[in-house]
Structure 1
Amino acid sequence: MTLDDLADAALVSKFYFLRVFTRVVGITPGRFLSVVRLAEAKRLLSDTGLTVVEISARVGYGSVGSFARRFTETVGMSPIQYRRFKLDTASLRDRGDVCRPDAGPQGSLLGCVSADEVSAGSLYIGVFDGPILQGRPAAWTTLVSSGPFALNRVPAGRWYVHAVARDTLGTGPGSVDGPAAGSVGPLQVASGATVRCPELTVRRPDWSRPPLLSALTFLERPSPVG
């Protein structure tokens, strides 16, 4: 689908559509479509026995190499590693999250996350380099319920903070499949500084929220392929 196709469907000019979509969603329509394609690739790797070549073609990539590189960058592991990860998530969780903050100048982030009537259990809070939850976190922590959090040893830089609920309660109007989540940013972290993060509110996913791409042991559960 082209930008012209989407704008025609919305009965507006493509320039107006691009501005409004980016303002509401936080990313361009093209970037959003790329995220949806990779999220579908994750589902196919998890729930089917299709080969990586077949999945690459099914989600619109003309080159398996390009697909594998993009998938690895955004999910944090290769397509084959992700399939194995889904089959053996329990053992990976026992070892703890493999992501560790980079060395170098570091600061701290303090904040609070709310998830009233959305989450029944624990929450994951991670620091990522963009508005989409993808790749590996620079720092992360978990909470047993909503409330204050502290992220220490955050590398100096410009970051987004994402919060995700492991279990989402029910559904709401306009909801889509996926965990409840919320994000704030960008936030600038300086060496030795403590930054107070605006309150994070975890909400049910809807059409305007890009799918989560990063493979987090906190969220993923084993699912048989076949």
Structure 2
Amino acid sequence: MADHTAERAVERVITLMRENLDEQLTVDDMARTAMFSKFHFSRMFQRVTGVSPGRFLSALRLEQAKRLLISTSYNVSDISLRVGYTSVGTFSSRFTRSVGLSPTTYRRQRGVTAEIRTGTPGYATGAPPATVSGIIRHAKPSPRRRLIFAGLFRDRLPEGRPVACAVLREPGPFLIEQVPAGMWYLLMHSVPKGAETARNDDLTEVATCGPIAVRPGAAVEGCDALLQPARHLDPPVLLALLDVRTAALEVALEQV
């Protein structure tokens, strides 16, 4: 199957998802829209986007919930229904786990958080940490000063706690320290300083590298990445990155 044909089919499904976030879409519904069998559709979607159809849909729902919390006066229960959750408790727990703030805190703080927590619950401690390094470049020069967040995650979807991360003031060499052993994806997200968290527009750039195999105490080099405008096919960035990166940068500058 040609990549172009697969991407067009996946784009049709993502459009279906975005237009029906409050509906209980099934894989059968998505496969019919893609015009492939359910088996071939699921494999194709995973190959094109890096995540399963179900996880992509869940991410879109939480992304929309973030927008509604900031831009409307709907209560949390109403928002949970508008993005397809029948239980406000389930919605709140998933939002908190993925974004890093509860829905009410996210709204009260307008998406601002003072810190970002890293961690790898369930992984053995005591092994010497590793480092991951490379070079980050922009596909197109930007006239606006950008902050760049680089984090290591368990899979292709940037949500929850990164296992380790770094904040850059500009493109170029980077070094992420205190990296635990494991198989990680390096996910990067860049927006102009002071801009609101957005996606799929001229302000947002993303990049992915991986999976990266990290051994205890290793210095993993050559993890280069090219930041490009977010595409329709890119999974949403759920972690509240923008304000976290701004705060982290200000702390770093104070220590210089």
TM-score range, shorter chain: 0.7 to 0.9
Query: Could you give the per-residue CA deviations for residues 84-122 of structure 1, whole angstroms, max 9, x where no partner exists?
Result: 2326x3xx55xxx34255674311111111113164423
Identity of aligned residues (%): 38
Aligned pair partner of 1:152 in 173, 177, 193: 177
Q: Which has the higher helix share?
A: 2
1:181 matched to 2:206? The reply is: yes
Mind listing any 5+ residue stretches in structure 1 that lack a counterpart? 169-174, 222-226
1:99 matched to 2:117? The reply is: yes
Residues matched between the structures, number: 209
Mind listing any 5+ residue stretches in structure 2 that lack a counterpart? 1-24, 194-198, 248-256
Instruction: Tell me if structure 2 keeps the 8 A contact 1:113–1:202.
Output: yes
- Output the aligned Cα RMSD: 2.4
Matches within 5 A, 1:19-98: 19-86=43-110, 89=112, 92-93=113-114, 97-98=115-116
Equivalent residue, structure 2, for 1:172: none
Q: Aligned equivalents of 1:68 and 1:118: distance in 2? A: 39
Over 4 Å off, 4+ runs? 100-104, 218-221
Q: Aligned equivalents of 1:72 and 1:180: distance in 2? A: 24
Which range moves more in the overlay, 2-11 or 33-42?
2-11
Q: Using structure 1 for the length normalisation, give the TM-score.
A: 0.83
Residue aligned with 1:27, SS = coil
Instruction: Tell me if structure 1 keeps the 8 A contact 2:147–2:246.
Output: no
Q: Using structure 2 for the length normalisation, give the TM-score.
A: 0.74
Residue aligned with 1:202, SS = strand
Instruction: Specify whether residues 43 and 192 from structure 1 end up closer, same or farther in structure 2 by C-alpha distance, changes over 3 A only.
Output: same
What is the Cα deviation at residue 52 of structure 1? Answer: 0.9
Q: Aligned equivalents of 1:197 and 1:128: distance in 2? A: 18
Aligned pair partner of 1:130 in 155, 158, 167: 155
Instruction: Tell me if structure 2 keeps the 8 A contact 1:101–1:155.
Output: no
Using CA pairs under 8 Å that are at least 6 residues apart, name the structure with larger relative contact order, 1 or 2: 1
Equivalent residue, structure 1, for 2:139: 116
Residue aligned with 2:228, SS = coil
Equivalent residue, structure 1, for 2:5: none
Residue aligned with 1:166, SS = strand
Query: Could you give the per-residue CA deviations for residues 155-204 of structure 1, whole angstroms, max 9, x where no partner exists?
Result: 22222111111239xxxxxx934721011122122221111243111111
